[in-house]
Structure 1
Amino acid sequence: EGAGRRQRLVCPYHAWSFGLDGSLLRAPGMEEVPHFDHAKESLIPIRMEQWAGNVFINYDESAPGLMAHMGNFPDLFATHRVEDMRWVFGVEIQAACNWKMLLENAMESYHTATVHARTVGAQTSVTFQGEDNWAAIQVQSTMTTAVLDKSAPAPFPQIEGLDEQARKGTYFTLLYPTIQFVFAQDCMWWLAVRPVSPERSVLSVGGCFPKEYVEMPNFQELAQPYFTRWEAVAREDAGILERQQKGVSSVLFKPGLLSPRDDVVHTMGEWVRQRIGIAAYNEPF
């Protein structure tokens, strides 16, 4: 629980302590247990890799490596220089909906005019050709979409050195299966979805800025509109998706048609279908 810096991890139940490499250091009360082997009681290892300061975990030891999975994903966003950014914001939202709904939601601008009428409002987007394991759209706006007030200049300047396409708007991406990075002209934020059950998920939202912005003496004041926007819009989405979950749980539910603005939603459905087998459905997507 929590976050911070520690030299060891201590279980709050029986006070067993572990090193940061997962090895069992101390197990009070186990001294007289026959054949007790500290090495065999270490924490279960989890595969971990990094990209540009972001840490990824994978429970599947046989899966391809992270960079092979990402393909040319990092190339499209290279001029944002994510590796030089600093994490400054985080919130977790409990959502009573299926994990795929949360991911689909951020990959289409069809819903924004209604769901976000009082916040970000209507948006238009273009779709980028992704690869097998990622997809991307770009919401078109010469001003950052990371703040709600469009009547005043953005609190922070655009990131120096952005390429021409990056200056045209905000990239909303999906790195399959559960990670979304959003690259605006002045910041980056992510949405990470943790499935809990078929009808429950945890949405983690975090935000990053270039380190030179974070070092500004009035950074917290300037960044507050971004924090407000990230959490407000995420909660609006979670709220409407909880209502959608009730709809798809109805005994009378059947899937409807997708609009042209749902092209990436279709792509996502195909990605899932190909990996679990078409036999799970009466009809293909």
Structure 2
Amino acid sequence: MTGHDLDQLLRGLSADAEHGATPLDPVRVRRLGARRRHRRHAATAAAAAVVVALAGGGLLTQLPGRDDTAPPPVASAVPSRPAASPAPDAPSTVPPTPARTVGTATLLRAADVPTRGGPALEIAPTGTGRVPDELSACIPDGLAPLRASGQAARDFRHPGQEQPAVQTLALQFADPGAAQRAERVVRGWVDDCAATLEDHGNTLLDAPGDPVRVEVTTPAGTSGEFAVVPVYTQQGGESSQEGFFESLGVTRVDDRLMLTVEVVVGMDDNVSLQPGGDPAGGQPEHPQFGLVRAAAERLAG
């Protein structure tokens, strides 16, 4: 406020005083004017500070305009990234391992079968010998207790004969432990063979006794043995005076077994139960030695 304005104000106050009003002291009037100017400056500075504080904090909200409406929101300058989609599972490229089984490659060949000094044996037609469940006279009630997962058979006969002289059966199991359990079952059949023979109506020509077991040397990690069955005659064949000289071999390699059965029908069976035979006595080794050794080789293939 200028001095001229102050003089006019004082004159107005003097005029009012003439009508009974009490005029203010000029010094107080100047203080009131200065106090008003300070308030206007403080209000302006506070508003500016609010704007600066909002801008410094990164807020995009603006003060309302004269029409008391807020401005529209401002979009963020940083684009949002879409959520990553899960990667699809890659198809497996590793083929499943085929289950092990037995087949023609696992079976014995004619050249594997000992000849007893005679002509070589030949493969017998399928179905001319005993069925697998009756492969040996020591099997009490079929092969189901062995719990094999697969099997393959091959029989051999002497030239000119109809019935096989040697029958072989390869058995596949789920794992080595299952093959070992089956091997123990077969040994149990041998232990009870004399009783089984009589239960099936056969007649024992030898006095009942413990079976004759013979171990065969096979590669490390495998096992092989055979048992000589008590000589017997079949039901109704007592008058022939001919007996059945039967032997049962069992060979184990890993998760496989092979059963080898040789049957000789006659008055006697002159073979040795010693490896290599008895040359001095003119007796060749029992054919089961060669059958078990060959079975260990084929099962490993």
TM-score tier, shorter chain, comes to under 0.3
Higher strand share: 1
Return the TM-score normalized by structure 1. 0.24
Return the TM-score normalized by structure 2. 0.23
The structure with more radius of gyration: 2
